[in-house]
Every structure is written in C-alpha cells, then in structure tokens.
Amino acid sequence: MSRVTVVGGGIIGLAVAAELLDRGADVTVLDPAPDGTGGAWHVAAGMLAPGGESAFEYPHLTRLLEASHGLWPEFAASLGDIGYDTAGTLSVALTADDVASAAREWRHQKLTPLSGSRVRELEPGISPRVRAGAFAADEHQADPRRVVAVLRDRLGGRIVPRRVADLSEVDADVVVVAAGAGTAALTGLPIRAVKGQVLRLRGEPGLLRHVIDGAADGRHVYLVPRADGEVVVGATQEEITDSRNTAGGVHDLLRAALDLVPGLAEHELTEVTVGHRPGTPDNGPILGLLDDPARRVVVAAGHFRNGILLAPITARLIADLVLTGSADPIIDGFAPGRFR
Ligand SMILES: Cc1cc2nc3c(=O)[nH]c(=O)nc-3n(C[C@H](O)[C@H](O)[C@H](O)COP(=O)(O)OP(=O)(O)OC[C@H]3O[C@@H](n4cnc5c(N)ncnc54)[C@H](O)[C@@H]3O)c2cc1C
C-alpha cells in the first residue's frame, strides 16, 4: 500500500486525500493551521461557474471546468449537506454602460438578455434601477466551509498540524503538494497570490434566491445567498500579497451590493476578510508529476479563481495518477513542465 503525504489541507489537499483514502491508500495531510482556516477556501464564495473563463482564450481550462462541474452532483451527494444549491445565477446590470459591457459577456455565454422587470420577477429583491439581466441556469454554488468541515471529519487524525519548509523533509512514497499559494515556495513553480477582499452579511433568510453576479456603475460584485441568511459579498481582485482590508475595497463591494439589492442595508455585517487565490500565468491549475529525479512529487495547485469548482476533478485525476501512474488525458494540458 502506498504511503502518501499531502502537503496542504485546503479544499484541494483534503479532496485529494479523501479520494485516496476511499481508494485504500495510507494518507497523511500536513497543514500548519490547526482549524484549517489558513486557505483561500475559507473566504471563497463557492460559486460553481464553468462559464467564468473565456472558452476561446482558454479551451483546455474550459473543458476542465465543465468536466468538474459535471462531477459536482455526485461529489456533493457523497459529502451530505454542504449547501449545494442549483437555483442558478442571475447576472444583472445597473446602468446603460453596465448593460453594454455585460451584454458582451452574455452573448459569449449564449445567455438570453432579460428586461429589468423580468429580472425582478425572478428576484424581487433586485433594485428597480437595474436595467437588464440574464439567467445562467447551470452556474451553481456550494459552501466551501461546509465542504472542508466534512472532509476534515472524514480524514480525522490523519491531519497533522505541521508547516513543511522543504519537501525533502517529508517521509512518504509519494508527496502531493497542494499548498495553494504556498506551493511556489516549496516547488519553485510560478504560482502567485492574488488578493481578494470578501464580506459576509447576515439577515432574514429569503431576501435572495439566486446567486447574483452584478455590475453597478462599473463596479463588479457577486452576492451568494446561503439558506441560513448569510450573504457572501465578493470580491476584489488585486495583484498584491498583503492581507489588509482597505476602506476602498470594502466601500466598493458594499456600494455595488446595496445599489443592486437595497434590502441588504438592513443585514448585519458579520465578516470582513481577505484571501489569496493561487494564480498561474495561464489561469489554469498545475496538475501532475514534478520533474524530480525520484519522481515522487505530484503537484495539485494553482487553481486560481476556480478551486472550489475544480475540487472533484482534481481529486479524481490526482488519485488516479498516484495510484495507477496515469490519468485521463485531460490532465495533459496542466503539466507542471508547461511553464519552462
Ligand atoms: C476572494 C476569493 C473568492 C473565491 N471564490 C471562489 C469561487 O466562488 N469559486 C471557486 O471555485 N473558487 C473560488 N476561489 C478560489 C478558491 O478559493 C481557490 O482556488 C482554492 O481555495 C484553492 O484551493 P487550495 O486547497 O489549493 O488552496 P487553499 O484553499 O489556499 O489552501 C492551501 C492550504 O495549504 C496550506 N499550506 C500552505 N503552505 C503550506 C506549507 N508550507 N506546508 C503545509 N501546508 C501549507 C495552507 O495552510 C492552506 O490550508 C476564491 C478565492 C478567493 C481568494
């Protein structure tokens, strides 16, 4: 039986470890955060939106996003109640300029534009000032914190609180590096931290039924409503590595959120957070064997804006690679060697 150590207990490391455990491997996960809250997953909204990347610019990535989206119903069912919600996403635009730029995106995603009044029929909490929208039925959501909690429970004592400084310290037959933005320091791979500020609001459940992906006076915001009344408001995207919430970042998110859904003004502001997306030069994850002489290091990192969506397919591909030495050819476009 293979002894596999997964470095990083974020959503990717845990999904890979749980899949390996199910398939009979002897797995250990190393992560310094005792409650596991160190990763990007802890702030992530949990949108499962395969149309988020341009299919034209990133055809390999679009195929991977769609394939993982197809695995989500089974993945969610295997985890239990993790807030998997298939009500869909309503994209909305406030001003004429917002409509003009959103319309390009709607055409690209082959979505039918809706009038402002039709948008409010679908989602009565949307402001009467919103001019138009479009409905993406296959853009779903799940709560990453609940996913991680279930996976942590499943792995139990196999999660060891430890920060790895050098992969040569890790005693195992195979090492899977799934350390998110921390992967660059361990492997030298080009993964950079891309800051995102996110807010959480809380109020009476039911103000919103769908995920809202909106533009308000040139400000982009998404609102992800959970069944218990939480609404996740995200997110800035900043090429900077600090962890500060800024007045400008919080203002832009709140202003856009309240312009689109005025009823949110009565919600409590419960969290103001920052996370770091593990970005790569081509926005695609890095999946596969590192070119080390022992051929024992496998990388599963760099999932950038889509790590929640990509968790099920990453788990499957990496477990196949670790246990059988090969995986579906869809993995080939994401090899660690592609940036040399
Ligand atoms: C603001 C924001 C919003 C997002 N929204 C979405 C969304 O709606 N949908 C979506 O699909 N994705 C979203 N994402 C992206 C998603 O969160 C990430 O792609 C995903 O979390 C990556 O998972 P990961 O496990 O690789 O990394 P992380 O979640 O960052 O976890 C990495 C783990 O590795 C550990 N680690 C780091 N260094 C070491 C080390 N040296 N030794 C041991 N352990 C280490 C850390 O403690 C951490 O637990 C969002 C991200 C951000 C920041």
Q: What is the pLDDT of residues 79-91, one digit of tens each?
A: 999 999 999 999 9
Dist CA 279 CA 171 (whole Å): 28
Percent of the chain predicted with pLDDT > 70: 98
Is the CB of 285 within 6 Å of ligand 1? no
Give Cα 288 distance to the centre of its chain.
20
Report CA-CA distances (Å) from 244 to 44, 253, 255.
Answer: 16, 15, 19
Fold entry, domain 3-81+142-190+280-339: FAD/NAD(P)-binding domain (3.50.50)
Residue 92 φ/ψ, nearest 5 degrees: -135, 150
Strand partners, 193: 278
In eight-state DSSP terms, residue 200 is: E
Task: Please give the torsion angle defined by the CA atoms of residues 81, 86, 87 and 92, in that order, rounded to the nearest 10 degrees.
Answer: 120
Q: What is the pLDDT of residues 14-25, one digit of tens each?
A: 999 999 999 999
Give the per-residue pLDDT at 56: 67
Give the per-residue pLDDT at 338: 94
Give the per-residue pLDDT at 57: 73
Ligand 1 pocket mutation pick from 31, 211, 271 by most atoms within 8 angstroms of CB: 31
Beta strands 230-234 and 132-136, pairing class = unpaired
89-137+193-279 belongs to CATH 3.30.9.10: yes
CA 278 to centroid of ligand 1, rounded, Å: 7
Is the CB of 12 within 6 Å of ligand 1? yes
Q: For the whole model, what pTM was predicted?
A: 0.97
Closest of 225, 222, 224, 223 to residue 206, by C-alpha: 225
In eight-state DSSP terms, residue 331 is: G
Give the per-residue pLDDT at 288: 97
Tell me which residues of the chain have a pLDDT lower than 50: none
CA 191 to centroid of ligand 1, rounded, Å: 12
Tell me how long the chain is.
Answer: 340
User: Which positions ≥6 away from 182 have C-beta within 8 Å?
Assistant: 8
Give the per-residue pLDDT at 107: 92
What region, left, alpha or beta, does residue 80 occupy, with left being phi > 0 and alpha being psi -120 to 50 degrees? left
CA 10 to centroid of ligand 1, rounded, Å: 6
Give the per-residue pLDDT at 114: 98
CA 310 to centroid of ligand 1, rounded, Å: 11
Is the CB of 301 within 6 Å of ligand 1? yes
Type of residue found at 16: V
Give the per-residue pLDDT at 58: 81
List the domain boundaries for the chain. 3-81+142-190+280-339, 89-137+193-279
Q: What is the pLDDT of residues 124-178, one digit of tens each?
A: 999 999 999 999 999 999 999 999 999 999 999 999 999 999 999 999 999 999 9
Is the CB of 279 within 6 Å of ligand 1? no
* Per-residue b or e along 283-299, where b marks 16 or more CB atoms closer than 10 Å to that residue's CB: bbbbbbbbeeeeebbbb
Give the per-residue pLDDT at 54: 67
